[in-house]
A and B are shown apart, each in its own frame.
Chain A
Amino acid sequence: MTRALPVLTVLAGIVAIWYAAAVWMNATWIFDQAERNGQTVTWAEVIPQTMDQARPLLPPPHQVAAELWKGVAGQAVTSKRSLVYHGYVTVKGTLMGFGLGIVMGVLLAMSIVRFRVMDMSVMPWAIISQTIPIVALAPMILTLSSQLGISGRDVPKAIIAAYLSFFPVLVSMVKGLRAPDQMQLDLLRTYGAGEGATFLKLRLPASMPYFFASLKVAIAASLIGTIVGELPTGAIEGLGARMLIGSQFGEPLIMWAALFAAAILAGMLILAVGVVERLARARMGVPA
């Protein structure tokens, strides 16, 4: 309770500000409408009207919650109108990208730690790669993969997600694989351990805390990549696609519901990664 109270207080504050902002922002439209029709309205009339507009500038929390509830519980989960279904599509892309990103990050980190030339030549470019706006590459990733005979949009989406999520894994793994100090390395050498054994018995275990710490960042990055991939490139299904359609057809509620669904999804994914991390740490005997 002592931990929940501050969070709840801040949340309550946010909701209060949100309501105030909703009244303020949505009122403009009502005044405009009244002016066009040559009427005058008072604030007492305006405020209730700002609470249930069909296309508000800023929907008040209860409207978003209702839309979210309708999308999650109001339909069969297999329906195309269900947010659960679209959330599933997005999660699928996110996890594929996450997996791909982990593999890429770990392999690159291993070769960077092993080969000096990789370290010197690849590492700076890995940093530069993150400054390239992925949205600009997205359409080209799509065409190139269709040219390579990959149909469907799952793979390009996963590539975009992996592009964003490999980086935190790479950086942490490089740090982690280098974490053992000289004394430990020397000790293994006195045991006559080869390079492979040193890697398996010392470097890899030593890197695990770093690895798990990077996973939380990586899964969030992967989700962002997936949504960016769904947003402007061939919006067909997934939460990003719904945001776009909501924006295009002037249905802000659909957009906001998708946004919050994405937020909830992000929370669940991070939580899940946290659980995996705690289990792994417990198994490895690291004190929590």
Chain B
Amino acid sequence: MTWLVGTIGIWLAAWALNARLAASGWARTTAGKLAVPILFGVTILVLWEGLVRGAGIAPVILPAPSAIAAKIAVSLPTLWLDFSQTFLKGALPGFVIGCGAAIATAIAIDRSPFLQRGLLPIGNFVAALPIVGLAPILVMWFGFDWQSKAAVVVVMVFFPVLVNMVAGLQASERMQADLMATWGASYWQSLVKLRLPAAMPFLFNGLKIASTLALIGAIVAEFFGSPIYGMGFRISTEVGRLGLDMVWAEIAVAALAGSAFYGLIALIERWVTFWHPSQRH
């Protein structure tokens, strides 16, 4: 009971502190912008720890954060092996191939309004489909190693990026296009100098969606056959062995990797599309 009362006490105190921090001028500094969400995250962990200990929840149901942290500390080599298999070999090449192919396709059909009108509705439709259902089929086709995982990721990321890229290429304004024409710019010149830059905000929208899909796709595909390492493999195997601390360790790694990947793309976006209104604060 003391655990519960204590936990709730800490939670309330931290929340009050956060509210004061957010209201104060300090919240506008970079440090403040980082401190508030971190404090919130820490509070959640404390709450979780307190609930698990206070309510006596069995570790085979939900392990405490401290137990998960301990597990992470002792299994770094395994986690790295899994991470490199799933993320570096599965998700990343799949992401690069899928996005690259989507961008190339968008540019290739750029000169054919007929193909665009044909592909766009279909692309929009496919982008909304539960592609994960293809995972067992692709594992059957491409084998159990990382190739099939990359294939799932390619299919998952292709359509959202394609749709955004096509929309982006049409985003430059009529007046700007006319201006390029008056300067006697060729198709390629106006593509490189005007329309590709103008497409960037749209492209990055697609890339951001694709970045979260990539990791999910690679992990789901591992459920349907894999070598004996990889994040999806470890998660499904350890659930069967009741090694829930290891499962959560993998989830933590996945969240970390996914957020870092997303953050990286957001950073590149800020750098590439510095001129766009959404980047001005």
B227 at interface by CB-CB < 8 Å = no
Could you say which residues of chain A place their CB within 8 Å of the CB of B144? none
Instruction: Identify which of residues 204-252 in chain A touch chain B, using a CB-to-CB cut-off of 8 Å.
Output: 216, 220, 223-224, 227-228, 231-232, 240, 243-244, 247, 252
Mark contacts of A107-119 with chain B using CB atoms, 8 A cut-off: 1 yes-contact digit, 0 otherwise.
Answer: 0000000011101
Binds A, one of B73-81, B165-173, B218-226: B218-226
Shortest CB distance B64–A (Å):
14
Is B27 in contact with A135, judged by CB distance below 8 angstroms?
no
Could you say which residues of chain B place their CB within 8 Å of the CB of A227? 130, 132-133
Mark contacts of B102-131 with chain A using CB atoms, 8 A cut-off: 1 yes-contact digit, 0 otherwise.
Answer: 000000000000111111011001011110
Q: With A and B bound together, what is the CA distance between A11 and B126 in angstroms?
A: 12
Is A270 in contact with B128, judged by CB distance below 8 angstroms?
yes
Is A136 in contact with B129, judged by CB distance below 8 angstroms?
no
A48 at interface by CB-CB < 8 Å = no
B62 at interface by CB-CB < 8 Å = yes
**Contact flag A144-B220 (CB < 8 Å), given A120-B33, A121-B40, A125-B37:** no
Interface size counted on chain B using CB atoms at 8 A: 59
Mark contacts of A50-69 with chain B using CB atoms, 8 A cut-off: 1 yes-contact digit, 0 otherwise.
Answer: 00000001100000000000
- The interface centre, meaning the residue of A14, A131, A244, A258 with most chain B CB atoms within 10 A of its CB, is A131
Q: Could you count the A-B residue pairs with CB atoms below 8 Å apart for me: how many are there?
A: 153
Q: With A and B bound together, what is the CA distance between A216 and B122 in angstroms?
A: 15
Closest to A226 in B: B130
Shortest CB distance B205–A (Å):
11
Is A6 in contact with B115, judged by CB distance below 8 angstroms?
yes
B118 CB contact (under 8 Å) in A6, A25, A57, A252: A6
Could you say which residues of chain A place their CB within 8 Å of the CB of B130? 223-224, 227-228, 262-263, 266
Q: With A and B bound together, what is the CA distance between A128 and B277 in angstroms?
A: 25
Mark contacts of A121-157 with chain B using CB atoms, 8 A cut-off: 1 yes-contact digit, 0 otherwise.
Answer: 1111101101111111101100110010000000000
- The interface centre, meaning the residue of B39, B140, B231 with most chain A CB atoms within 10 A of its CB, is B140
Q: With A and B bound together, what is the CA distance between A252 and B36 in angstroms?
A: 51
**Contact flag A136-B251 (CB < 8 Å), given A120-B27, A127-B262:** yes
Closest to A256 in B: B137
Shortest CB distance B59–A (Å):
13
Mark contacts of B213-256 with chain A using CB atoms, 8 A cut-off: 1 yes-contact digit, 0 otherwise.
Answer: 00110011001100000011001100100001001001100110
Q: With A and B bound together, what is the CA distance between A43 and B61 in angstroms?
A: 57
A177 at interface by CB-CB < 8 Å = no
Is A117 in contact with B254, judged by CB distance below 8 angstroms?
no
Shortest CB distance B155–A (Å):
12
Query: Which residue numbers of B lie inside 8 Å of A, CB to CB?
Result: 15, 18-19, 21-23, 27, 33, 36-37, 39-41, 44, 61-62, 114-119, 121-122, 125, 127-130, 132-134, 136-137, 140-141, 212, 215-216, 219-220, 223-224, 231-232, 235-236, 239, 244, 247, 250-251, 254-255, 257-259, 261-262
The 4 nearest A-B residue pairs measured at CB: A131-B258, A6-B118, A121-B40, A10-B118
